[in-house]
Every structure is written in structure tokens, then in C-alpha cells.
Structure 1
């Protein structure tokens, strides 16, 4: 039986693309008969991350983390993040000649540079050191694969994303959703500096703007943009209904590697407006009619108003978690079959 131990610094109570991707993949892998064991900050003492308290940083030792990993008796290890747990898991795998896979979810150098005065080239060297030690680094898109190849990251493997069509789907539109005039321009996600929200909120657009989500920049942005509706975080049916009431989903981020919220909006029948950057360019194909990409975000928003909701939901149907999870499993098994850093073969699966 294949038993995959996934080590991640991103986990509940965080709600973000990393957590959702792992959660949905785990559900599908379990259906396939794969046993999943999680190693997360919940199992250790942790502290809030500076500038982003929702992220918990584990305060632990190599021996403690090694003990938790070893108790799971893994036949394969996947390291999802470059944080404290990821670093210790990397060290454990190398020490034990255990081949492992990693994944690259966030443009880490740009993410750090947005918060701290650290040269991007230093962070690029760090991610190269971190991921090249493994036997496969999973990326969501072709554009991310090209970017990481340029900075010297090897063994890149594709792991796309999916969308739960039963949770996110078109619904009847209310005349005045949120008691606001249409058109409704909406964005969903972490309210944080790397999401580039002012690029959207500063736009002179007709109708109303709605921001769904929580994060460290929420209080500041609420004061700065009193005319914008900030709803806070929504989940489940409440989130799905909110998506479906939008006329255009605006994705102003330039640092995401994919954009799970783009798929959620499309599945809800909402056209997308975004910059022509990694993530949006990989999802919103030219001529799909599902949205508009433009260096002028206002122009993209106004063009997206003319897109058909049917085209948006049709594009989303091509993304399933079953297919994405099969990719993930294939990548993990490929890494497992590789020879370890010390030249030793990976122990056979049970």
C-alpha cells in the first residue's frame, strides 16, 4: 500500500490555495486507496509569522519532527512548503536517503521581498537549494515551469489544479446582491500586500466593488476604501453563493503561481479580469470568452463585462481534482522510484 507523508507549514486555520490544494488532493487520493499522513504546525508549538499572524511557524527540533515522520512509516514523502517544517523534513529525507518530492505554490522570492528588504536573488538561491535537493518539484503551470527553469530548478513536474463543480456552480442572480448596485466587481482571497489589491480598488469602475477574505491588510484597506464592501472570510455555501452573484471576478495579483480562486469564479459562471501574468495566462486561454487579460486592469474589467457566463463555466469544467490528483500521485511515485542523494534505492513500498 502506498503511504504518502505530506509535510506542510501551511494548514488550518489558514485558508489559502496551498491548504485547499492539499485538502482536495488528499480527498481524491484517499478514494484511490492511498493512505495520507499529514505533518503540520498543529502538532508542534508554533508562533504567529511576523507581518502575517494567520500563518503559524512551528517552533520545534529536528528530533521532534523526525519522530513524527518516522511514526507515519512513509513509503513516500512530499514536502509542500519551504518553511520550518519543510526545512526539517528536507534534512530528514537527505539524512535517511529517502527520495522526496516538493511543490512550489507561491512565488517565494517575490512574496518575501514584498515584506522584507531581502534581495530577490538571495531568495532565488534559497529556493534553488531547497527544491533541487528533491527528486521532483511540482508546479501548476507551464509558465511557472519556464520561470523556475531559468533560475536553475531541475526535475520539474506538472501538477495542475481542479475545481469542485458540486460546490461552485452558476446560481440565479439577485437584483441587488449585498444590497449594492450592479455590476458587481469581486475579488476573493487573502487580504495581504502580495495580492496587489489597490490595483483593483483604485480603479474607476461602474457599479460596486466587493472584497471577500481576511488578512493582515484588512483593517488598513477598509479605512482607505470606505466605498468598498469588505465582507471578511466566507466559506462553504455562503462563499459559493457570493461568487455566483458577481458580474466580474477581478484577480489583481502578480505573485500567484496559479490562482485557485480563478477556477472557483469560472465554475460559478463569472468571467475573470486579470493581468496577463502567470496563473491567469495559463487558465484564460485566448478566445475562450471566459475573461479578459490586459496590462490595463480597468480595460480588462470592462471587457470581461461583455463575456458570457456560459463560456466561463464551460472552461472550468475542464479542471477536475480527480485528474489533478492522479498527476500528483504519478509525480510522487516517480520521485519514489528515483535513487536517493546517497545513491541508495528507496525502500520498497509495503
Structure 2
């Protein structure tokens, strides 16, 4: 499905009056990460509820590669396009999902024109920038407070992240959790019991960006039997492939093929200490694959004390314990995470505006949140 065009549905809504939702995001295809998958899944659920959704993404613009991370494209000169989109689409709600060039233009446009908008906090850019360039974390959070400050609400994925953002003096936060596609990501016992890619078992899986902020070397350094399997791409891929020749790097996988890698593996190892949620952990659990991770924000919020994974500072010990957990337990746990519920939560956090129909010539005004 392409989101360059508007997604529309019928006249009725399962979540209040039908809304026209404009979502601005710098994270989009061909990037492969939880933010992109979450936003795409959200659009489908909002459509099912009767809302109309339009995305503004880097695919609409001329772009240049991000420094040190060419998979991320930075949009050029989007202001004129933004003006035209708001006028023609006449959104009843504007949501800014990322803090990149598109997000910046959208934020400043809304502030200058008195348009209420919501934002979401997906990625710990201050920590990532410090890991890559040594810039103090405090500088990054100063920028983020400036960026998100005018929003009616900054949506965050977990309660502990909300508490942290309040402690960092972000003025208005609300919960917007994540869900998982339990039809795509499901147990496939025939794959778990059979040879998969010719790899000795147990198969220890990592899925995600191959980048320094993901702490992948902590996984690759573990003394574990069997095979380490890495799915994903990123700026560290070539260097790690050369350094860890015993690991199996297969690049990015999508759809059914990605789901098969989850379901065929014996344990999902999540070494990140900076993710705000970790959608991949839910995808693994839905596939019947238990999770080993550090006891940090993200895994603690998703898994906690549930008997579906193991969270320890000793990641190798956590992996050896997690691999013994029943796939049925993991699957049952993931079934409680509904994308429909997440989409309803998202809509409840929006700043709903009134616009004229359909040209949007009248200035929108805030009705409720």
C-alpha cells in the first residue's frame, strides 16, 4: 500500500466523528524500523475506524542522505508543499511524528498559523547523537523540549517513558502504546522443528537497525551455542559482518519472510538500552519466540515480570533462560496487544480542529482534545 495518497473509508466512525488526520513523518520507506511499521499500521486501523488519513513523507520531496546514515533521507524545501497540503486536505487534526526536516517545517508552520497539533516521541535522538558524535545529551533534550513544547500533547509509548519525560520538564504528555499484527507474526511450528537456512540450533535472532545505538555488539559477543542471526541493515552492517564472521547477516526482510525468521528462531535477543518501546519484541512474542533483554525501559514496560522472556544485566544468562520458555506462553501474551486499541488511544490524544469543507479556506480552530 502506498501512503502518498489519501487513505479514505466510509462515512461512519467507530471512534467518534470521522476525522481527517494529517500525519507528518520523516521516517518512512525504505527505512525498516518500528516507527515506520507503527505509523503504517496506524493508518490502516484509522481507516477501518472511518477516518481519512494523509501522510507527508520524504517520498514527496527531493532528499539527501543523512550524515553517517544514508538509509535515512532528509527532505529539502518542503514548506510550499506543506502550505498546499494543509489548504487542500483541510485536516481536522495534525500529528507530527518525527523531529526531522519535515517535522520542523510542520511544527513551525503550525506555530506561525495558530494551528494546534500533536507530536510523538519515538526515538532517543539525544542518546544516539551522543553515541555517534559525542554531543552532550542535555543539548539534545533542550532541542526536544523546544520542538515538542507548543504541541497540545506529546505522545509516548509507555508509562515509565511518560514519567521520565515529565521529569525532564516536557509540558504535556499522553500515552500511545503499540500493537502487533498477530495474523502476520504467528507461530509456525514446522519452521521451528525443521532446518532453517542451514543454521545449527538454537538460533538466536536480532531484528532491527544495524547501528551503534542498538548495542548489537553486546549480542554478537555473547558466548552462546548454535547460531546468531541478524536481520536488518544500517551503517554498521559491513563493519560488523567483517568483524563477526561466525554470525549470519541476511540484510532486511519484509512481510512473510520477516515473519518466518521470527518464527523459525529459538530466542529473540534484544541488546538495545535506548529504545523507547521495542516493537520487535512484540513481533517476536507474537511469533512464539521468547525474548532476552536488559532490564531497561522498553523491555521492562513490555515484558516486565511476565513469563515470556528474561531480563537480566547478564544478557547471556538471560538468553539461556529465555530459550527454555514455552512458545505458547509468548504467543498468548502478545495477543493482548491490539492495534485497534492503540489507534483509539491515538485518536483520543489528537488536537481536533474544525475546518471548512472541503477546501479548508477557513482557519481551523481547536474544539477539544
Partner of 1:57: 74
Alignment of 1:128-143 (within 5 A): 128-143=145-160
Classify 1:61/1:270 alpha carbon distance in 2 versus 1 (closer, same or farther; 3 Å): closer
Structure 1 gaps of 5+ residues are: 339-343
Match of 2:194 among 155, 172, 175: 175
In structure 1, how many angstroms separate the alpha carbons of the residues matched to 2:117 and 2:307? Answer: 40
**Candidates 220, 227, 248, aligned match of 1:201:** 220
**Aligned-residue offset at 1:133:** 1.1
Alpha-carbon shift at residue 97 of structure 1 (Å)? 1.0
Find the partner of 1:190 among 199, 205, 209: 209
Q: Deviations over 1:310-329 (max 9, x none)?
A: 11111101101100000001
Of residues 7, 20, 24 in structure 2, which corresponds to 1:3? Answer: 20
Shift of 1:176: 2.6
Distance 1:234 1:64 in 2: 32
Match of 2:287 among 243, 268, 276: 268
In the TM superposition, residue 348 of structure 1 has moved relative to its aligned partner by: 5.9
SS at the partner of 2:242?
helix
- Cα pair 1:75 1:348 within 8 Å, conserved: no
Residues 157 and 176 in structure 2, CA contact (< 8 A), matched pair in contact too = yes
Q: 1:285 Cα shift?
A: 2.5
Which residue in the other structure is 1:299 paired with?
A: 317
Alignment partner for residue 106 of structure 1, among 117, 123, 132?
123
Distance in 1 of aligned mates of 2:78 and 2:187: 48
TM-score normalised to the size of structure 1? 0.94
RMSD, matched Cα: 1.6
Partner of 1:123: 140
Name the counterpart of 1:150. 167
SS in 1 for 2:365: coil
Counterpart residue number, 1:308: 326
Equivalent in the alignment of 1:82 = 99
Aligned residue for 1:178, secondary structure, equals: coil
Partner Cα separation in structure 2 for residue 47 and residue 195 of structure 1: 24
Question: How big is the shift at 1:347?
Answer: 5.4
Which residue of the partner structure matches residue 348 of structure 2?
330
Equivalent residue for 1:223, pick from 235, 242, 248: 242
For 1:6 and 1:69, locate their aligned partners in 2 and report how far apart those are by CA, in whole Å: 11
Partners of 1:69 and 1:253 in 2: CA distance: 38
Equivalent pairs counted in the alignment come to 341
Correspondent of 1:166 among 166, 173, 183: 183
Q: Tell me the distance in 1 between the aligned counterparts of 2:38 and 2:148.
A: 19
Q: Give the deviation of 1:31 after TM superposition.
A: 0.7
- What are the superposed Cα offsets for residues 54-77 of structure 1, whole Å, 9 maximum, x if unpaired? 100011153343223332211110
Give every structure 1 segment of 4 or more consecutive aligned residues whose post-TM-superposition deviation is greater than 4 Å: none
Tell me the equivalent position of 2:41. Answer: 24
TM-score (norm 2): 0.89
Tell me what 1:341 maps to.
none
Residue 234 of structure 1 deviates from its aligned partner by: 0.8
CA offsets 1:263-304 (integer angstroms, 9 cap, x no match): 100000000000011110011131x21000001111111110
Contact 2:96–2:107 (CA under 8 A) maintained in structure 1: yes
Maintained 8 Å contact 2:32/2:252? no
Cα distance, 1:345 vs structure 2: 7.9
Shift of 1:123: 0.5
Secondary structure in structure 2 of the residue aligned to 1:232: coil
